[in-house]
Amino acid sequence: MKEKGQAMAEHTPANTIQPGHHSQRFHLAKGQQTEPVPAPPQVDLALKDLSPQIVAISLHNSRNRKGQWASDRKTQPRTVLLYEVEFFTHTGGIAVIDNCQYPISRGDIRFHRPGQVVWSHVHYICYALRMTLDGTEPQEGCYQPLFRNPYLDLIPGFMSASVPDQHARLMDEMLRLSINPQAGTDLLLKAKGLELLHLLFKDANQL
């Protein structure tokens, strides 16, 4: 596992990973303030019911999205409705989750949960994926619940991939499948979604 922040002071217990929360290991400083959002309900999700449904996937380059920037070279803060994974392919920019800022390096991963407020300092390049986790179709403007599951609970909001090329290959496969869907593509994407969650759990388990 790639270690980050080695030049920083020794971490306190408050900076260690807690189940169901994003990692504080890479915390830099408080960012701009946003209005608090009511937390979605917490719901237990058994492993047999864990069924990722990919809603969207893209390769995102912030240099091509100038219309989405806020002031001072930041993207517009937004509230997460579904589950999202961003895998960063290049070093650069800063990721923000609920006012905690994380410097981006190649191979870093951001895992968004419903109800979080996120934005970024440009520039950065990443694969970006949105999904539901219970097999349901997303309802416009509605939050997915905060699902509780031993595997999901371990995944922090920000971490480094132990083998970045594995994530890059998987994300690229999923993107290609979504661009050129064929008979059975939805079934294959569901399987790839489970593979992605397994990679995230495996990386989190090594922290």
Close Cβ partners of 158 (under 8 Å, ≥ 6 residues apart) = 22, 23, 26, 95, 97, 102, 108, 109, 110, 111
Asked whether the beta carbons of 125 and 91 are under 8 A apart, the reply is no
**Rounded Cα–Cα distance for residues 161 and 130 (Å):** 19
What pLDDT is stored for residue 75 in this prediction?
87
pTM above 0.85, yes or no: no
What pLDDT is stored for residue 149 in this prediction?
96
Q: Write out pLDDT tens, residues 9-46.
A: 332 222 222 333 333 334 444 445 555 567 899 999 99
Q: 58-62, 92-96, 189-193: which has the minimum mean pLDDT?
A: 58-62
Asked whether the beta carbons of 129 and 192 are under 8 A apart, the reply is no
Burial class (CB in 10 A: 0-12, 13-18, 19+), 168: middle
DSSP codes, 32-48: ------PPPPEEE--GG
**Rounded Cα–Cα distance for residues 70 and 112 (Å):** 20
Rounded to the nearest 10 degrees, how much is the dihedral formed by the CA atoms of 14, 15, 18, 21? 110
Locate 127 and state its tokens: 């694969």
What pLDDT is stored for residue 38 in this prediction?
75
Q: How confident is the model at residue 6 (pLDDT cuts 50, 70, 90)?
A: very low
Close Cβ partners of 81 (under 8 Å, ≥ 6 residues apart) = 114, 138, 141, 142, 143, 144
Percentage of the residues of the chain whose pLDDT score is greater than 70: 78
Q: Write out pLDDT tens, residues 101-160.
A: 999 999 999 999 999 999 999 889 999 999 999 999 999 989 999 999 999 999 999 999
Locate 195 and state its tokens: 């593979």
